């Protein structure tokens, strides 16, 4: 039986961990081999290298490199541990997984509703696989491109500074309809979050009254070891093959970057041992996961991954991802600015106003915590602006203002107003205003599913180039998760990509490479030339 801090939504039938997932399709190509345990593919990666000359001209050279990919076909039994389990996102996601697993229906004034995973790119979107014999497009679910975890099979657990069980947390969140809450209440009441780390200086003082479920003491190294033991115990108690940890707790203030404290891996480890005041709770969880070899994803905007922690993850070859869930307003912004700039229209000012009344909004009413969110929201258009030197001179950037206000009466139903002021043809002006209303947790919860499903999948994919003698895992910083994150992390020296279309294409095309398929293209030559 699962311990009281976990819930098992997997099938009641025994899980055969030795059985690979049967694919919806198989690629008929000499570049692909299916074994009982792996998908093996050979892939030619084409790129274009541009050499800028002193006179301003460019020499362009097409280049190719051969990659070999090896993907484990067997989908493991996976646990999801959330930091902030008892909050809006944690309770909404857990209840929703239970509703999907058990095919619950619930009634509202608009009728009867059925559970779904809408809003999840892995579970509710399709990709163009190719064309049929008549040239018609053929689409398949993204989840069928590779052997992925079914979110309904996740085992849920985690930590929270509040001792309320998940049923009480769900009531407090006021996100789900009452008829659904009623049906999942007893199951969620069995789940009590594990004690968590609480360093008052890192979150708003208005969170103090929730903090009654804490790991004792002030020894930060002891806190890391405590969390590591929690992960191991959870894994054993639930018969898990793998665990993924996601931070969905409060936004912290930015940690101060200090030479000799968090600038290198060794200095950061020493700072943890010394319980230095600039080691944040989220960094404690990240360190525990790195040392346990468990993927850790930061869903809030603070700088959890200080330079020393990133260096440590790279050294230990542990997977990390962040920062800050990209749910509604920012996701739309990264799409519309990409559209405008690519259409030759120049955004000169972007004003984003938000008000919400959930606990996230309450925490963000503190200036230091708001500053973390402001940074993650404000940098989302940088790469798109930098891509067009016709519209923008060097150093030029749109005026970008972000405002967040706490209004308790609106609860989780976030209001977001964006105005885009643009320069257009011959000195003209265009103003675009967008008003969005949606429960924040209904947008964020599917992102957690995607982050967990894709992070776990990346632990089963390896690659090798012609120069390499053995297969290797991908880089520790999981930039492939950028589609779901406002301020995506990248490895050192790698440019940040915020444009939503490019992020989505990267997901599709890496999956295609792993099954030996060329990247999708939209040329449609079969329809544009004389036959």
The set of catalytic residues is: 324, 373, 414, 486
How would DSSP label each residue in 112-146?
EE----TT-HHHH-EEEEEE-TTS-EEEEEGGGSS
Burial 291-310 (b: 16+ CB within 10 A, else e): bbebbbbbbbbbbbbbbbbb
- Nearest Cα residue to 415 out of 351, 355, 329: 355
Quick one: angle between helices 329-342 and 367-378, nearest 10?
Answer: 30
| Cα–Cα distances in angstroms (integers) from residue 357 to residues 339, 354, 486, in the given order | 31, 10, 21
* Residue whose structure tokens are 């589609």: 483
Distance CA 60, CA 259 (A): 41
| Cα–Cα distances in angstroms (integers) from residue 306 to residues 84, 200, 269, 475, in the given order | 21, 19, 12, 17
Three-state secondary structure call for residue 446:
helix
Distance CA 98, CA 89 (A): 14
Distance CA 160, CA 210 (A): 9
> Strand pairing partners for 58?
52
């Amino acid at each position: 039986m699962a311990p009281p801090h976990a819930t098992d939504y997997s099938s009641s039938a025994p899980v055969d961990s030795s059985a690979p997932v049967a694919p919806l399709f198989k690629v008929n190509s000499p570049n692909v081999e299916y074994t009982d345990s792996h998908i093996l593919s050979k892939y030619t990666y084409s790129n274009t290298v541009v050499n800028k000359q002193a006179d301003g001209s460019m020499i362009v050279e097409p280049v190719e490199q051969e990659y070999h990919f090896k993907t484990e076909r067997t989908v493991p039994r996976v646990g999801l541990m959330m930091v902030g389990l008892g909050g809006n996102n944690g309770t909404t996601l857990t209840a929703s997984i239970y509703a999907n697993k058990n095919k619950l229906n619930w009634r509202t004034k608009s009728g009867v509703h059925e559970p779904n995973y809408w809003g999840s790119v892995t579970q509710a979107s399709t990709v163009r696989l190719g064309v049929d014999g008549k040239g018609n497009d053929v689409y398949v679910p993204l989840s069928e491109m590779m052997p992925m975890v079914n979110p309904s099979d996740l085992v849920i657990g985690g930590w929270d500074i509040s001792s309320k069980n998940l049923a009480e947390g769900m009531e407090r969140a006021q996100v789900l309809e009452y008829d659904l809450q009623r049906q999942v209440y007893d199951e969620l009441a069995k789940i009590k979050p594990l004690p968590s780390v609480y360093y008052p200086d890192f979150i708003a003082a208005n969170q103090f009254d929730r903090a009654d479920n804490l790991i004792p003491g002030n020894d930060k190294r002891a806190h890391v070891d405590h969390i590591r033991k929690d992960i191991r115990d959870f894994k054993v108690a639930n018969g898990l093959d793998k665990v993924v940890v996601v931070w969905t707790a409060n936004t912290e203030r930015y940690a101060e970057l200090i030479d000799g404290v968090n600038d290198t891996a060794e200095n950061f480890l020493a700072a943890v041992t010394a319980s230095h005041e600039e080691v944040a709770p989220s960094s404690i969880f990240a360190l525990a996961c790195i040392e346990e070899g468990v993927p850790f994803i930061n869903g809030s905007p603070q700088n959890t991954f200080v330079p020393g922690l990133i260096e440590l993850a790279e050294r230990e070859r542990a997977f990390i991802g962040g920062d800050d869930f990209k749910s509604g307003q920012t996701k739309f912004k990264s799409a519309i600015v990409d559209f405008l700039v690519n259409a030759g229209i120049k955004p000169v000012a972007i004003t984003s106003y938000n008000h919400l009344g959930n606990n996230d909004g309450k925490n963000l009413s503190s200036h230091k915590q708001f500053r973390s969110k402001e940074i993650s929201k404000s940098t989302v258009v940088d790469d798109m602006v930098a891509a067009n030197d016709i519209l923008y001179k060097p150093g030029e950037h749109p005026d970008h203002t972000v405002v967040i206000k706490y209004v308790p009466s609106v609860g989780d139903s976030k209001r977001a107003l964006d105005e885009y002021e643009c320069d257009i043809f011959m000195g003209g002006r265009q103003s675009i205003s967008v008003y969005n209303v949606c429960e924040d947790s209904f947008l964020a919860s599917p992102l957690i599913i995607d982050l967990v499903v894709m992070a776990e999948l990346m632990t089963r994919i390896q690659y090798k180039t012609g120069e390499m003698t053995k297969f290797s895992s991908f880089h520790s910083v999981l930039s492939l998760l950028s589609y779901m994150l406002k301020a995506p992390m990248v490895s050192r020296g790698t440019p940040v990509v915020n444009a939503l279309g490019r992020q989505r294409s990267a997901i599709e095309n890496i999956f295609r490479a792993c099954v030996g398929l060329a990247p999708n293209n939209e040329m449609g030559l079969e329809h544009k030339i004389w036959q």
